[in-house]
Structure 1
Amino acid sequence: MQVSVENTSALERRMTVGVPAERIETEVNKRLQQTARRAKIPGFRPGKVPMNVIRQRYEGAARQEALSDLIQETFYEAVVEQKLNPAGAPSVEPKAFEKGKDLEYVATFEVFPEFQVSGFDAVAVERLQADVHAADVDSMLEILRKQNTRFEKVERAAQNDDQLNIDFVGKVDGEAFAGGSAKGTALVLGSGRMIPGFEEGLVGAKAGEERVLSLSFPEDYQNLDLAGKAAEFTVTVNSVSEAKLPELNDDFFALFGIKEGGLEGFRTEVGKNMERELRQAIKSKVKNQVMDGLLAANPIEVPKALIGNEVNRLRVQAVQQFGGNIKPDQLPAELFEEQAKRRVVLGLIVAEVVKQFELKPDEARVRELIQEMASAYQEPEQVVAWYYKNDQQLNEVRSVVLEEQVVDTVLQKAKVTDKQVSYEEAVKPAEAPQAA
């Protein structure tokens, strides 16, 4: 087998492979012999069909099959021989394809970039420090109460924070527009769900009242056909309901699976969950900063095939998340390319750090992470056992731990400063790109 490789770009390779005719004929004959043992041809007993008859009937198909298999086999042999690491399936173009002659084909493909991760000392990380105080738990209890708000009808004028049941019809230039009308919709005044002026225009309204609101869509409204345009909404108020916060009693605690311990027991459980959330938030923010630093210090070119594969994964995730009657490939690739490239680059960098430092998942940390996740459930022992009985789930946890070990490795060399902040600031989502 003859192999030559041409570098057509930083990552693209054009490999020409020559396969001797003898090897091709050996593979063709092997397939014909297999066919002869099972072929059923009128006038001949099974297994007794003359080879010239077999060859006459089946050689074309056997040759096509042999050539297809040989291209796959020899491509793999060639990349191993040339110490190449393909990043995707090759594009194969036969050059010589005649019976009795050597097969020659050209395979064009991308390879993984070869690099070493550097710049650890240039990575700057601000590591937040925070504690969960009694006042933080009090605030969380109020949030939980508001999340479980009930609304009861009242016979008075509407106020902010009241929930109205309304019918409305919106018109632009006297014509109703798509999406501008609804019946029986619930709206909490002050929620900011509607365009400016809509909710404010209903303050003071009573059940059975009709109001006409003359408003304008914002200039930056997402529907460009309506952006900046004047509109008139005719709104009928069907009912007015005021918010009723639940009492902190056993019935409320039971909603969260807490059946014993009363208020103090509930506060303890809420505090534990907040501590868990705090640890995860701080860890996540540190990880994002580490990944951003590694990206900045290690600009690498990545195979287009890998980006394309990641774009397709993100398309599928988007369809699964948002639903709708749309196929993943109908979503424009450019919507996902930046995020896909970031993920691919980070994946390669993380894998290289693992390789450079010969990292392996710390099984003690794996168990610790599983136990922490399980502690949020009523029967944590069963959750831990479930993970250790499911290899796929267990390996996913191992991957998370391995990524944490990569972060720890970088932090040993990075510029790290600690900053004391409040619980609220520590858990507030960071405005940062999504990590790998």
Structure 2
Amino acid sequence: MRAFLASSIGVTCAAALVLPLAAPAGAAPDTPAHPATAGSVPAEASGPAEVPGSTQSLALDPLASPSVRATGAPAAAAAEQGLPERDVQPFSLVGVVWDDVDTELHGTAQVRTRATGTDRWSDWQDLETHNAEHSADAGTAERDSGAARGSTAPLWVGDSDGVEVRVRPETPGPGESAEPPVPLPAGLHLELVDPGKDPQELPATGAAGADRATSLGATVLPALSRAETEEAAGLAPAAKPYIGPRPRIVTRKGWGADEKLRESGFAYTKSVKAAFIHHSATGNNYKCSQAPSVLRGIYRYHVKSSGWRDIGYNFAVDKCGNIYEGRAGGVTKAVMGAHTLGFNTNTMGIAVLGTFTKSNPPAAAVNAVSKLTAWKLGLFGANPKGKVTLTSGGSNKYKKGKKVKLNVISGHRDGFATECPGARLYKKLGTARTSSAKLQGR
């Protein structure tokens, strides 16, 4: 258990091993997931029968690249790694992880999958490889626990039972230096996540201001009027706060979070001074009715595959505008997330489920971001149209200790050199700031 959870009781899952249908050669049935030495690993089951979902973790092997095949060189000389087509246990979300959380994957990772029970294979799909920016800050117990791993962004592929993967190092482009490519990280594994079945539908519950709704069994925190929101926040009737009405929020119980997966304690910061907007980069091929499954997949991937203490984002928004509680600890509290490397202190991370590099985010999703920020930032007195000075914890854009002036509602790329939240979503943040401020009464 990590340092900040020294007083917490660890939760142990008695995992039964489930082998993939076509186990790779040399599979070690009793090898724990992500061993220190490379090797094929069996699926990691979810534990007790009532716990939903599972993860299959498969070590990648050297593949013969096109140039190697042309020259007849041995496969061991190939820089490319992957797995050929194979049958596996059903899964819906896929990603690639590696041993060192501080090592970046300089190259491309692609997968193709087969829909369950069919012979239909997808085209090759890209995984977002530069995912180090979505992580706990350096120097924190979560980052330095020894459990954290490097990882791509996960990709939602829907119900599948066949997979093929290839990971290739970067090669010099025309006119670029012919220096040898940066080697791929050590310990590459393919992670295949089954998010489990959706929770049984329960009636929405939760009184005004019920921040402990999850522990009380609520699946949804209902929307409140502005007056109800101010009352729930404990504000005097004569006060004139700038706070937006609380929007409807689906709780962790509502989207089926398995609370046995995460670490049992919570980590908090002093305030919420800013919001960083992300896209999950999991693709747009999901129905809004599947959003809870997508979230459970991301949650399991963040915890079981990437080694984080909980899901990284504080909140998530789907393309229909539904808002979901993310990292546990209380929706009104300053819960420390793992969403923007270098800027997780005194901020919150909101992930819009989807990929918005070339696709426009739906208006409903942008509107939900406005509602959520108007409420949550309002609880801490932050102006959505304002600026804030934050101290960097260290990123590839700002060195540790540097004071950085940012928008109160910023995109992930404002704190880290990344494409996140996608160019199309980033362009909508001005609209979100204006709408959020209006909802606060500014």
User: TM-score of the superposition, structure 2-length normalised?
Assistant: 0.25
Whichever of the two has the greater Rg, that structure is 1
Query: RCO greater where, 1 or 2, for CA within 8 Å and sep 6 or more?
Result: 1
